A and B are shown apart, each in its own frame.
Chain A
Amino acid sequence: MSEAAVDMPPRKSELADPVLIRARGITRRFGPGLPALDAVTLDIRQGEILGLVGESGSGKSTLGRILLGLIAASEGSVTFDDMPMPPLRPTEAQIVFQDALGALNPRRTIGQSIALPLVNAGWSRERRADRISELLQSVGLSPSDAARYPHQFSGGQCQRIVIARALALGPRFLFLDEPVSALDVSVQAQILNLLARVQAEAGLTFLFVSHDLEVVRHFCDRTAVLYRGQLMETGPADELYDAPRHPYTRALRASVLNGGGLPELVPETPGSDAAPGGCRFAARCPKVRPICLIERPPERPVGPDHTTACHALTD
């Protein structure tokens, strides 16, 4: 079950690379109150792994679902390959969730589960069988595993099966919504090695959600940081880890557990959440200014291919 591939050469995502998914001013409301996503503008470049981090409830899953066309945005537009986006076809984009066991039908063998997208796409029985064997092998399982049921596999193996199913129709884009969060470190390493290999082999594009900044730095080319529906910072993954600029990214970075006790955190500035027009992080921001409460900071470049939205970083 060893990952055959050796070290991947460091990839680089360039500003000039063609854009696969272009999201402009995406807002999503689920009712009264502040929107779950607030005018998010983001490019996902062909062949890159874009990391998406942010606290729980910040809108990561919602953004991914909108990019896949699974739910509609309240405002804004998404294009895929420069085409305005109807719901994406399964041959183009797939999703992998954190809860792998929950994503598999317990009454179907895993062969049947993997076959489903192929059946829907009109594949013949023989082609399906070949494809299933090939997929199982590519994720480090054996073709004979096709006859077994989900509960007979470990969490890490279930995640491999879900990845195999996601790859069945050869999609170009995968939305990986915390695919390794539920796995222990050793299995996490297996899955990340597997994903890195299939990504490199097929030149796939990933949007990868994780809470683990170290995993994101390791695995991703670029990182985007969401806070309560607003994009705070976007830039090269190692820069966001080694030299974060936005006060929120800095707070996240300072929270990474590093073998000591619990780190001290930035003090929570008392006061209400910002007014709808302002920066959502203002209420917790150590660098807050009066303007932050009333006017949302625009995104500005702070380095090559690195932007942040913060009034305090303008001078």
Chain B
Amino acid sequence: MCALRSLPSPQTKSPAPAAGVEVTGLNISLPGPRGRSAIVRDLSLSCAPGEVLAIVGESGSGKSLTSLAISGLLPEGAHVTGSVRLGGRELTTLSERKWRDLRGREVAMIFQNPRGSLHPMLPVGRQLIEVLRLHRRTRRVEARAEAVKLLTRLGLPDPQNLMLRVPHQLSGGMCQRIALAMALAGRPRLLLADEPTTALDAAVQVEVLRLLAETVAEERIPMILVTHDLAVVEAVADKVLVLYAGEMREYGPVSSVLQRPRHPYTVALTASGPSAAHRRGRLPQIDGTPPAPWDRPPGCSFAPRCANASPICQTELAETGNAHRLRCHNPAEAAHV
């Protein structure tokens, strides 16, 4: 068994039981080179307490924007319609003041670029201790001891010395784990993690994923995990949403979507990784690139790259399924891969 224990227990009274997140009909548009264009379209998802929902999809498919919308951090100029609910509360209409109160304490976000969430000039130890003191109302010495514990648990060497450094003196993977420690310090009720293990090696990745999975299970909170690594999805997620050009293509339990992918895009994704079978050979790839948000074709936006496409794909989009949802006219056979 690995040397992980549960999070250091907080000094404050235990927070309210967590609620699930429910996103319905989410649309996000942003100003672009040809005026405003819809980036994320008609997106619905849900994530219950204690559940991990993974969002996968090609670069630019809108994964980060979706998680930013849920945490109220969309860039200026973004328009949002549809609904994001956490428990009974509608989040899309929350004022910035209410958001400031919620964020960090109830909704924590771990960003794709970890340096961006750290102050560049302050020693990282001081930043972490501040957050711990704020959320746990402990004295500085206790907060310091907790910070050391948290960083040790995240597999960081020599935490005492590390805490004295400023972000540019740390590697990307180290900054990532400090940002993670800061996010967990507030004992959030909803966790959003955007590529949290991309910069980490295999062994540390396992530790960090285990910490996240344990936090979700012990605190009974929902977690939305953005990743491009299907092995990570299989290891920790319960459900998975496959995005393509800002739209859901396939959505459902991991065991169903990744074991029996139906959408040609999901099928291609599951076949793209290197495996012993084609060592040093050419890797299977999906030729071409997704359309820019401002020139998305009508119908299915994957059709131009899809081997199964038929004329109807160029005009309309079909949705089928309930627990395992699918938007495709010509899905792959439900064969086991």
* A contact residues vs B (CB 8 Å cutoff): 1-3, 5-8, 10-11, 30, 33-34, 53-58, 61, 98, 152, 154-157, 178, 181-190, 192-193, 196, 211-215, 217-219, 228, 238, 251-253, 255-268, 270, 273
Contact = CB atoms under 8 A, between A and B. Distances in A.
Nearest to A183: B59
Interface range on chain B (Cβ under 8 Å from partner): 35 or more
B171 A57 contact: yes
B273 A185 contact: yes
B202 A184 contact: no
Given A30-B169, A192-B283, A252-B203, A1 B288 contact: yes
Contact of B173 (A6, A57, A155, A190): A57
A265 B58 contact: no
A108 to B, nearest CB: 16
Contact of A262 (B173, B236, B278): B236
A284 to B, nearest CB: 9
Contacts of B195: 182
Interface string B194-209: 0100111111111101
A1 B201 CA distance: 31
A214 B273 contact: yes
A265 B2 contact: yes
A56 B199 contact: yes
Contacts of B202: 211-213, 252-253, 255-257
Contact of B279 (A1, A30, A217): A217
B1 interface: yes
Contacts of B234: 257, 259-260
Nearest to B233: A257
Interface stretch (B11-19, B84-92, B142-150, B224-232): B224-232
B269 A251 contact: no
Contact of B286 (A54, A186, A260, A266): A186
Nearest to B199: A56
6 contacts: A8-B281, A55-B155, A186-B268, A252-B201, A262-B236, A265-B206
B282 A57 contact: no
A53 B59 contact: no
A217 B279 CA distance: 8
A contacts with B: majority SS? loop
A5 B282 contact: yes
B123 interface: no
B324 to A, nearest CB: 19
Nearest to A8: B280
A154 B284 contact: no
B3 interface: yes
Given A187-B59, A215-B274, A228-B157, A56 B285 contact: no
A178 B228 CA distance: 15
A235 B281 CA distance: 20
Interface of B: 1-3, 33, 56-60, 155, 157-158, 161, 169-174, 176, 195, 198-207, 209-210, 213, 228-232, 234-236, 268-269, 272-275, 278-290, 292
Q: Which 7 A-B pairs have the closest CB atoms?
A: A56-B173, A155-B59, A184-B228, A218-B274, A257-B231, A189-B283, A255-B202
A199 B60 CA distance: 28
B290 A154 contact: yes
A185 B315 CA distance: 28
Given A155-B59, A184-B58, A186-B268, A257 B282 contact: no
B201 A183 contact: no
Contact of A56 (B201, B209, B292): B201
A6 B282 contact: yes
Nearest to B113: A99
Contacts of A260: 234-235
A54 B289 CA distance: 32
A264 B282 contact: no
Given A8-B282, A57-B174, A157 B157 contact: no
Q: Which of A5, A58, A215, A265 has the most CB of B within 10 A?
A: A265
Contacts of B228: 182-185, 188
Contact of B210 (A190, A259, A262, A270): A262
Given A30-B169, A214-B273, A184 B206 contact: no
Given A186-B272, A211-B200, A214-B274, A56 B58 contact: no
